[in-house]
A and B are shown apart, each in its own frame.
Chain A
Amino acid sequence: MSDQGSFYQRDRSWHPLAFTPSYKTSVLRSPQHPLLSLENTISELTGPVFGHDKLGPLDNDLLRNFAKTGDPIGQRIVVYGRVLDENARPVPGALLEFWQANAGGRYRHKKETYLAAIDPNFGGCGRVITDEEGRYWFRTIKPGAYPWPNGVNDWRPAHIHFSVFGHAFAQRLITQMYFEGDPMIWQDPIVATIPDKSAIEQLVAALDRQNTLPMDALAYKFDIVLRGRRSTMFENHMEGN
């Protein structure tokens, strides 16, 4: 059974709603009209391809790709996993881009004003393309939690942002990875935009002691699931092809 049909409809009860008043910025940045449901056309079933030639050798090494005088401060970790579709098939050739705060919870961004120190050896960005089995990995430091202006005392749990390109523009996704055992996950207004507890747990990476690098780095496993496609067996072919 090939999977060249339309994508399964996005389950909007699994994703965050657009209007989530506890995350205040969403109030004025959420459409009020219903989204117009559109069966996939060629414009959504296609998507750009990113070749390995776009990547440099240190793109998946956040310990080294901005280092000036030595390694960045912080807990050394490896993040690895697979990109799969909803049919549990690997998605090879997926471009993942990720960004994060440093160990003190400070982003390197011109508009960031949090008082925690900038780390001169940490940029906070990386990218990788999945292999034939949909696998990826990168090295970094564990980001710190940080306060943000929402409520007067709201803090984001430690997290890494992920941007994912699958094989079609319909699969385009941005999400965040959290860390197993972090009690702050359950106090975060942005996490809480996701209405379903099991959906939140899908974004919590597991500490993997089997794959820890001895005397070097802890390992976290984070699988990402993109939308899957119907079998063409079930497609309507109005033109008789």
Chain B
Amino acid sequence: MVQKLRLLKESPSQTAGPYVHIGTNPNWVEITGVWQEDLGLVLVDPETKGERIIIKGRVFDGAGDPLKDALIEIWQADAEGLYNSPQEKRGKADPHFVGWGRQPADGMTGEYRFETIKPGRAPYKDGRLMAPHITVWIVARGINTGLHTRMYFSDEEAANAKCPVLARIAHKARVPTLVATRAEENGLPTYTFDIHIQGEKETVFFDI
């Protein structure tokens, strides 16, 4: 026998199931009066610094159908590239920006939508700057362990080309699966980020 190493194992994941919204967005499924508002719907207030943007998209299964029961969370830096978290040691993030959002996919169309700001750049482990990006986490019925991916910006070509994380993707043809395309909609820059769980256009997912 030898001495024991670490004491515990991580609790195994289980699917969020079809009714995840009861626990995360009860008001959205008409369970009203339990708490005032569902968490994560609003990311910005009038004093938040940075360029206002819309992010929208759908999550597709291997048959090409959009998931209408998915739940999408995002986590991002502020306009200066700082995270609003105690683990952030480089400086103090914008107090008007938490950086975390959560939206259910629309029950009819499968579309999700966030109103947020464009993040600044944060460093990779070795100090090189990563391109601006948003961390995305997807759960739904049929997804046994939540899927982590990243959204990058189509108007950041130079930064994307030098991003040490995007450089890790061996199959260069798959890099565009992480890049959201920018367009103007109702006067706001709108990025479309469709996520393909499976199939020819399968999104790159990370084991972080």
CA distance A9 to B123 in the complex (A): 21
Identity of the chain B residue whose Cβ is nearest the Cβ of A83 in the assembled complex: B11
Distance from B29 Cβ to chain A, minimum over Cβ atoms (Å): 5
Most chain B C-beta atoms within 10 Å of own C-beta, residue among A23, A42, A163 = A42
Chain B residues at the A interface, C-beta cutoff of 8 Å: 6-24, 26, 29-31, 33-36, 39, 61-63, 67, 69, 73, 75, 77, 83-88, 90, 98-100, 107, 122-127, 130, 133, 135, 137, 139-148, 150, 165, 168-169, 174, 197-198, 202-208
Q: Does A32 sit at the interface, judged by CB under 8 A? A: yes
Interface segment, A69-77, A132-140, A193-201, A208-216? A193-201
CA distance A202 to B163 in the complex (A): 39
The answer to whether residues A47 and B12 also contact, given A86-B6, A172-B146 and a CB cut-off of 8 A, is no
B137 and A8 contacting across the interface, CB-CB below 8 Å: no
CA distance A44 to B21 in the complex (A): 24
Across chains A and B, the number of contacting residue pairs, with CB separation under 8 Å, is 269
CA distance A4 to B8 in the complex (A): 18
B35 and A59 contacting across the interface, CB-CB below 8 Å: yes
B31 and A125 contacting across the interface, CB-CB below 8 Å: yes
Q: Does A87 sit at the interface, judged by CB under 8 A? A: yes
5 extra interface residue pairs, beta carbon distance < 8 Å, beyond A30-B142, A127-B23: A16-B13, A35-B205, A41-B165, A42-B122, A238-B127
B100 and A48 contacting across the interface, CB-CB below 8 Å: yes
CA distance A10 to B10 in the complex (A): 8
A200 and B17 contacting across the interface, CB-CB below 8 Å: no
CA distance A190 to B18 in the complex (A): 13
Q: Using Cβ atoms and an 8 Å threshold, which residues of chain B touch A203?
A: 11-12, 14
Q: Using Cβ atoms and an 8 Å threshold, which residues of chain B touch A56?
A: 35-36
The answer to whether residues A39 and B143 also contact, given A124-B22, A174-B16 and a CB cut-off of 8 A, is no
Q: Using Cβ atoms and an 8 Å threshold, which residues of chain A touch B143?
A: 18, 26, 29-30
